[in-house]
Structures are given as structure tokens and as C-alpha cells.
Amino acid sequence: MARTCFVGLFFLCLVAGELLRSSMASAGGGLPHDLFSLGIASRICTDRNSTARASTDFGHMFEATPEAVLLPATPADIADLIRFSASSPAPFPVAALGKGHSGRGQTLAPGGVVVDMRALGRRCGGAARVNVSAAGAQPYIDAGGEQLWADVLRAALEHGLAPRVCTDYLHLTVGGTLSNAGIGGQAFRHGPQITNVQELDVITGTGEMVTCSRANNSELFFAVLGGLGQFGVITRARIWLEPAPKRVRWVRLAYSSVATFTKDQELLISDRASESGFDYVEGQVVFKRTLFEGPKSTQFFSSADVTKLAGLASQYGLSTVYFIEGGMYYNEDATTLVDQKMEALLRQLSFEPGFVFAKDVAYVQFLDRVCEEERVLRSAGVWDVPHPWLNLFIPRSRILDFDAGVFKGIFRDANPAGLILMYPMNKDRWDDRMTTVTPNDDVFYNVALLWSALSVNDVEQLHRDNKAVIAFCEKTGIEYKQYLPRHASQDGWLQHFGVKWSKIIELKAKYDPQTILSPGQRMFPSFADAATRAVA
């Protein structure tokens, strides 16, 4: 009851504030004219080309044009913009844009200002915003929120170091992934990227510049990590590093049974196997029709490999084939040792005999492998297409039910273009004080349906399929959580955050009381929406 009253009071204040601001705003709308008298005026772009570039994202499914784009020279420029909006009679929305890799308009700011975070690196010379401290028991790197993980990795490697956890695609910004969680094949051991951060510089929704950590300003620190941009803009992160290997034994193991596939994955991420096993663990689901109708070779598989895998699907009458993807890190002087470790590890697993595919690659090549795939897809004209992605965390206790209902049910006769990831993580490697939410099981799976829509009809069909997946989970009681979420209603967000929702409301009221930040998430109603409801 107390939570309901608090939420109602908060939104009542929003409505009242909007009605007051509406009466004070000029009839012409748009941004306040005195914004352009600030010291940052020369860095605010209102031309059509600038606003058009900031009006969509990687998903290419949502469009919302901002009134302007800020090209900040320093974090103080961002603070000036937010402070001006927060204190204005008519606050306008502000969204931080990194590489714009969100899928459903999460980084858009309709009618407001998009902050081009990448301008910080360009205007500061880039290198000044990445600094490595290699001394001491725990080395770290200070990286601007606008920096790409590829650049963070490159700077760390100059000192023989690397981040503990990297996302599969390195050409994303530090602030962008930390605002979600940042997951990848090392997360089973080290947790997501957000649990490997020591300190942050954050600009709140009131324009205050705050340095925070687990010990200082910890409430803001935990709120912002995984906070979807709702409580502040990350302008610097201090990220833990570890010694970097030189090479990776990169393997894929094929499975015909999802039960065996998941059992082996869970063994590989367990304490029993993790120290002597893979340093990286992920998994994929491939449809039989993809093996027959898709490309005859890939970055990893040769044409002969694809033919062999298609034969496996035909032999057992499979609609899907599964792969465990593993990486074992080593240095050149440890080749014999890694051979022995790999042989011992494979003896513990139950993949299809004869279906081990292995490559030896440089560590950097392995971590940046998706960049090569990007080049191939761009050359084929299938990179900048709509991406109706759906990313879900599914509890271990229901992953077989999910597989049966989704991959062997909803998608049984389909062959959508794209990649399906399916791999487990350990819940105890996540810090529940952070905003991100996960299922309650001690192990849960990341199931990423990374579709590419090659036509308008594909977009509509994949939207229907994604809705069918969600409907199946809700009908069968699967406690899923969306990763990279965007919900259309307050009820959706309440269900998403569960018991954390009341705390989210409190944090928003404290750190962004005018609900300026990240409107594209649609987590909090806009002032205009609130006013409309009040009039109605």
C-alpha cells in the first residue's frame, strides 16, 4: 500500500509540474531559446543531417527525431545541458548516444536533445580518455563512457592486460554496456561487466557530477550499473583488468540433444570444471534449414564442416542442432599443456562423436571475431537492416521447456535469418544490489534471438514470432527477464523489476526528478502523457 501511494504521489507531481510548465512554455514549442545563449551553444547542432542521424538505432524499427544533438567537448558540457533542462520551466528529454546499438529506440530523445557521447573522444584526442594503471595487486583502466571496448582492450593489451569480461561485439561503448549489464562468454566466471567496475563518474538527472563507488555514493553507483540510463550518464568507468593471454584454442562441439547440450554447458560453468576448463563458454542453436539453405561456409566452419553438420541433422531427423562454443586461453610456451587440458576436458563431455571443430587464433582475433562477421555482412548489404531482437534470461529449471515450446514449436518450420545464442551463467556472480534483474534460479540462460529482417514482411513476421515467444513464457509460467528491455507500459516494467520496482521509483525521484533521462526506454511516462491523462 505504501509503495502504491508513493508511486501515485510521484506521478501526480509529474502531472502538476507539466501543467505548470505548459502554461509557461511558448506556443511555438521546441527547445527553450535561452538554451542557445549558454556556453555550449556552439556545440549544439540543429541541422537536419545531425538530428536525422540521431533519430534511429541499430534496430531500425523505431524513429524519433530530436530537436538537437549536443557534441560535448568535456563531461561538463553534458552537465550544463542536463542542469539547464532540469531547471527549465519546460524540461526537455536528454538521451546519451554511444554507437546506437540498441534495438528498440532506447537511446532516442523525441523532441529533446541527444548527446553524442563519441564526440568526447574526438574532441579530447581519444587517448586522454583511456588510462591504464598496471601497478599494484589489482590493475585497472580508466575509460571514458564514450570509449569503445575495442579501444579499451587495445590500450590494456599494451600493458599485457585485458578486461575480465568482454561482450561478443567490441565496437560498443563503455557507458552503453554498463548501463545494461555487459555479458559474454567469460561472465560465468567473472560475472557481467558491471560487477567488474571499481568506480564511476556520473552526471545525474539534476546535472550534478558525482564520483561513486561501492564505498562512496554507493546508492548511485549500484543504481547506474544496469540502470538503463535512467539515473545518470556514465562519463568514466574504472574497470578491473587481468593478465592477457596471447592465444585461444577455439572449439565448437555439436549436439543433437538439448538435454545433453545444457548438461555439458552447466558442467563447464560449474566450480568443478571452470578452473581447469574453458575460459569462455557460450552456445548456439542452429535450425536444420539454415544448415541446408544458409551459407556453405562461415568464418569458423568450412563448407565441408557445414555439409557434415547438415548430415547430422538429417541422420537424426533433427529440427535443430546445438553447439557449445568454448575458448581455452594460453601462451605460446604452453601449447603442450593446453593440448593436455583440452583432451582431459573433452573426455568429460557428451558431444556427438567426431563433431569437434577447433581453431587456434590470436587472443585479439578471438575477442574481435564479430567485427570480421560485420565486414562480411556489410559487404552483403545485410548489416544495416531491421533487427527485431529478443534477448531473454531463462531459468535453468525451465530451459528444456523453453526449447520444446520455442525452437521445436514456434520456430519448427521457420528459417529466420540471424543468430541464436543460448548459454548459461551463474547467478552468484551477479551483484543483486545493482539495478539489473535476473531469474531466481542459481543458473540461468541467456537466450538471444538476434534476427535480421531482410524484408518488410520479415519485420512483421518476426515481431509476431517474438510476441508468441513471450506469450508462451507467460502462459507456461516461465519466469523470464528481458535483457536490453523496453516495455510499453508501467505494468511491464513493474513485472520486469518485481520487488525492485519501488526502489527504482525512489531512485528516479532522487536522481532524475524531472524524468529527463533516457525517455526511449519508456520506463516513466513523459510529461505530455501525464498531462493528457490528467485532462482526460
Verify whether residue 171 is a known catalytic residue: no
Q: Could you tell me if 92 and 516 are in contact, meaning their C-beta atoms sit under 8 angstroms apart?
A: yes
- Residue identified by cell 540502470 is 227
Q: Which residues contact 155 (CB under 8 A, 6 or more apart)?
A: 127, 130, 132, 141, 143
| Cell numbers at 60, concatenated | 531500425
Q: Which of 101, 116, 151, 465 is flagged as catalytic? A: 101
Query: How close are the terminal C-alpha atoms of the chain, in Å?
Result: 25
Verify whether residue 282 is a known catalytic residue: yes
Q: HSE on the CB side for 236, CA within 13 Å?
A: 21
- In this structure, is the dihedral angle defined by the CA atoms of residues 43, 47, 49 and 50, taken in order, positive or negative? positive
Amino acid present at 51? T
∠ Cα 456 97 434 (to 5°): 105
Amino acid present at 14? L
Q: Could you tell me if 28 and 90 are in contact, meaning their C-beta atoms sit under 8 angstroms apart?
A: no
Q: Which of 168, 264, 279, 512 is flagged as catalytic? A: 168
Distance separating alpha carbons of residues 154 and 506, to the nearest angstrom: 39
| Cell numbers at 506, concatenated | 525512489
Strand partners, 322: 255, 285
Verify whether residue 146 is a known catalytic residue: no
Of the candidates 196, 176, 183, 182, the one whose C-alpha atom is nearest the C-alpha of residue 239 is 196
Distance separating alpha carbons of residues 263 and 200, to the nearest angstrom: 38
| C-alpha separations of 129 from 45, 141, 523 in Å | 23, 10, 31
Query: Nearest 5°: phi and psi at 480?
Result: -85, 160
Give the number of other CB atoms < 10 A from CB of residue 475. Answer: 9
Active-site residue set: 101, 168, 282
